Amino acid sequence: MQSISMCRKVNTKLIKRIIADWLKVLLLLLDDIAALRLIILVLRFLKVRIPLPITIAAALVVGTFVFMIHKAVMPSFHKSPVTGPEAMIGIQGTVVKPLTPVGTIIVNGEYWRAESVNGSNMGVDENVEILGLDGLTLKVKRKEP
């Protein structure tokens, strides 16, 4: 009996999430819907008749578009934002003081102390990729072109 009520809770949560997702997509597409409605009103005002097969085809295209947008956008709504040291990994920076093997790089407008992971020297204006952090020192490697 308890597993049935648990299943209902999970299903209710899932249904609420799906409804919320579709509402978000509708909100994102609201300007497109308004533009489409305006086009239809102008065509009616100009007494342009649109044949039924074209209307059905257009509805299928728009429906497919909305479904594809939903599938593409929804995963990003459920992703947790990456913060802290993990957010730095993989970002590119530029050397401003030569790494011999410790120096300074600029990343997103901020100056950071950096150390080359393989001990190699890097000159000014070379691009580097952040591999990790050790305290407030970034561990970097030369960015491959």
Tell me the residue type at 51. Answer: P
pLDDT score at 9: 63
> What is the band of 143 on the pLDDT scale with cuts at 50, 70, 90?
confident
Q: Where are the domains of the chain?
A: 2-78, 84-142
Residue 114: exposure state from Cβ atoms within 10 A (0-12, 13-18, ≥19): buried
CB atoms within 10 A of CB 103: 21
Average pLDDT, the chain: 84
Q: Which range, of 9-13, 85-89, 126-130, averages the lowest pLDDT?
A: 9-13
139's enclosing H/E stretch is strand 137-142
* Whole-prediction pTM: 0.48
pLDDT digits (tens, 9 = 90+) for 97-113: 999 989 999 998 999 99
131 contacts: CB under 8 Å, gap ≥ 6? 89, 117, 139, 140, 141
Q: CATH fold of 84-142, please?
A: OB fold (Dihydrolipoamide Acetyltransferase, E2P) (2.40.50)
Residues 93/138, Cβ–Cβ less than 8 Å: yes
Q: Which range, of 7-11, 20-24, 44-48, 59-63, averages the lowest pLDDT?
A: 7-11
